[in-house]
Amino acid sequence: MTFAEFLEQVGGMGRFQFIHTALLTIPILLMASHNLLQNFTAAIPGHHCRVHIATNGSEYLNASHLLEASDLLKVGIPMDSNQQLERCHRFVDTQWHLLSPNGTEANKTKMGTEPCADGWVYDRTLYTSSIIMEWDLVCDSRKLREMAQSLYMAGVLVGALILGRLSDRFGRKALLIWSFLQMAVMGICAAFSPNFVSYCIFRFLSGMALSGFGLSIACLVVEWIPTQYRTITIACTGFAYTLGQIILAGLAYLIPDWRWLQLAVSAPFFFFLLYSWWLAESARWLLLAGKSHTAVQVLQRVARVNGKQHAGAEITTEVLLSNMEKELSSTKASYSISDLVRTPAIRRICCCLSLVWFSVSFSYYGLAMDLQNFGVSIYLIQVIFGAVDFPAKVIVTITMSYIGRRFSLMSFLILAGLVIIANIFVPPEFQTVRTSLAVIGKGGLAAAFNCVFLFTTELYPTPIRQTGLGFGSTMARVGGIVAPLAKMMEDYFSLLPSIVYGAAPIISGIVACFLPETLNVPLPDTIEEVENRSRKKKRKSEAAAHEKILLQSQEKPLFKEAC
């Protein structure tokens, strides 16, 4: 018997699987809140230099307290090319003459300006508080905003590298519990950060925790779900992430203060920590880790929850080991990241998936973290960007179930890339069209994310599944870190970021065609199983090519005789 058959024996897709998956899905609702949190906690409000009243106009100085705010801004802040208040400069001397009916800005070149020496005034109509206002991350310090997000993504990257490996060594459940605790503590500490440096440190550690529980949840879900139900189950977890994006917009609207918003999306992880003790460790991992007795206990517990006590009682350590002897004899005691490139089939899978993960994340966060530039309410665009994921993920779930994982991944990647590039040719005044194309592109990337997540768990064998998923997540975080940097290329050529954001998924979509299909294929339990599948496929291709050559050689004499 294979492990999949043991899983069917204890109930298949039974009550346990439904409860277990539901409890693991709830925390995913807040994953989007942390990934996209800086759209709101680091929102950039309207701002200008704090006006100072110089003593070069005594006739106005005595009455300055009677002047309207607009008049003070007129004499203290210059206008930019769009006739908007300059955000980063003010007049050195108060330009009182601009209040005169004959005042003019014709001599603007003679009006000296200087940086905002006394700080800034922020428009608090939409955002009552943000890290931008609190620590003045504008003008010369504006790049610190992107740095904070990049450091968070760097934390997710480090978490994928470290916690993914530890999960394969110490178990999915143990790392899940630790990650919940770390996320709760570090998230709350970030909410009470006294300065920008401590905020970045706590956000970095929160990113590590998010990567840890995200990877553990993925493996715990996939390794307890029968093959035929994996697609729809992963789709449901994807919908939870999508719903989380919409929830974030609602929370941000209701909680305009960044510290309380940070607290609101972090404190619930204490609740997740409490019920995580009920969750079951992966029996696949326990068996391959040499803990067969514990694996039997977990399988029997699952059987009881599913109402299959008698079938569970038939599973003993001896029965499990005798049936899984082949798989166990071919596994190693320890695996490392080098196993991802040690053998040819796994190496090809690793290289292709790495590029796909990087490209999807790179383009996804390039669009999702730039909401303020769409010219509409940031809350509305967040809801739209979240809502588009529902139809996108429904479609990709259908195509994955009936057409295949590989075709679905290729199609959505190439579609997203073409739409992003097409947006380059839409004139800026057609804002609705540009926003619509961006939403379609984001939906395509969200669908590709759903697909590659499932595809990765199905392509790697059990001993290195978490390591492989962790490495893929690492490449995704590299993409997330690089995405804001690509935005800076518009200083050299305004269309370059869009070209890069569009080209990346197109190239990775082409590369995805070299991956093997996994539709209705059982999860591989060993590296040798993956290599054997690859060799069998290669032999079949060679046999088909040889047969074709034989047929062609037989047809040639007939052709000559006919001539």
Q: Which residues contact 88 (CB under 8 A, 6 or more apart)?
A: 49, 115, 116, 138, 139, 140
What percent of the chain lies above the pLDDT cut of 90?
12
More confident: 452 or 230: 452
More confident: 354 or 310: 354
More confident: 425 or 268: 268
pLDDT at site 184: 93
pLDDT at site 433: 81
**Count of other CB atoms within 10 angstroms of residue 363:** 30
Mean pLDDT of 388-412: 87
Residue 483 confidence (pLDDT) above 50: yes
Q: Which residues contact 84 (CB under 8 A, 6 or more apart)?
A: none
Report residue 119 as tokens. Answer: 């700080």
Q: What is the pLDDT of residues 381-399, one digit of tens each?
A: 888 888 888 888 888 888 8
**Count of other CB atoms within 10 angstroms of residue 323:** 16
Burial 174-190 (b: 16+ CB within 10 A, else e): ebbbbbbbbbbbbbbbb
pLDDT at site 371: 67
Q: Which residues contact 391 (CB under 8 A, 6 or more apart)?
A: 443
Residue whose C-alpha is closest to residue 468's, from 314, 356, 371, 318: 356
Mean pLDDT of 61-84: 60
In contact, 500 and 424? CB cutoff 8 Å: no
Locate all alpha helices (DSSP H) within 324-343, ordered by sequence: 325-329
> How are the residues of the chain apportioned to helix, strand and coil, as percentages rounded to the nearest 5?
75, 0, 25
Confidence of residue 83 (pLDDT cuts 50, 70, 90): low
More confident: 135 or 326: 135
In contact, 96 and 111? CB cutoff 8 Å: no
Mean pLDDT of 168-177: 83
Listed by start position, the domains of the chain span 3-44+143-514, 47-123
Mean pLDDT of 123-145: 81
d(CA 30, CA 25): 10
In contact, 169 and 115? CB cutoff 8 Å: no
Identify the three-state secondary structure at position 49: strand
Query: Could you tell me the sign of the dihedral formed by the alpha carbons of 123, 129, 134, 136, in that order?
Result: negative
One DSSP character per residue, 517-540 reads: P-TTPPPP-SHHHHHHHHHHHHHH
Q: What is the CA radius of gyration of the chain?
A: 29
Residue 122 pairs with which residues in a beta bridge? Answer: 47
* CA separation, residue 406 to residues 61, 116, 389, 402, 413 (Å): 73, 54, 20, 12, 11
Beta strands in 38-166 (DSSP E): 47-49, 89-91, 113-115, 120-122
Q: What is the pLDDT of residues 95-120, one digit of tens each?
A: 665 666 555 544 444 467 777 777 77
Confidence of residue 358 (pLDDT cuts 50, 70, 90): very high
d(CA 392, CA 497): 24
Residue 327 confidence (pLDDT) above 90: no
pLDDT at site 307: 79
Mean pLDDT of 535-541: 68
pLDDT at site 392: 86
Q: What is the dihedral of CA 329, 330, 331, 336, to 10 degrees?
A: 150
Confidence of residue 206 (pLDDT cuts 50, 70, 90): very high
d(CA 53, CA 422): 50
- The mean of the pLDDT values for the chain is 78
pLDDT at site 187: 92
pLDDT at site 420: 87
Poorest-pLDDT segment among 176-190, 241-255, 398-412, 423-437: 423-437
Report residue 283 as tokens. Answer: 């029996």
Q: What is the pLDDT of residues 22-40, one digit of tens each?
A: 898 899 888 888 888 888 8
pLDDT at site 58: 46
pLDDT at site 107: 45
Poorest-pLDDT segment among 46-50, 197-201, 501-505: 46-50
pLDDT at site 414: 93
CATH of 3-44+143-514, one of 3.10.180.10, 3.65.10.10, 1.20.1250.20, 1.20.140.10: 1.20.1250.20
One DSSP character per residue, 427-468 reads: -TT-HHHHHHHHHHHHHHHHHHHHHHHHHHHHHS-HHHHHHH
pLDDT at site 449: 86
pLDDT at site 163: 80
- The DSSP secondary-structure symbol of 334 reads -
pLDDT at site 166: 79
Pairs from 100-108 (Cβ < 8 Å, separation ≥ 24): 105/79, 108/78
d(CA 72, CA 265): 41
More confident: 543 or 406: 406
Q: What is the pLDDT of residues 268-290, one digit of tens each?
A: 999 999 988 888 887 777 777 77
More confident: 165 or 106: 165
Q: Looking up tokens 């190693």, which residue turns up? A: 332
d(CA 412, CA 426): 21
Residue 290 sits at φ, ψ, to 5 deg, of 85, 15
d(CA 135, CA 139): 12
pLDDT at site 265: 92
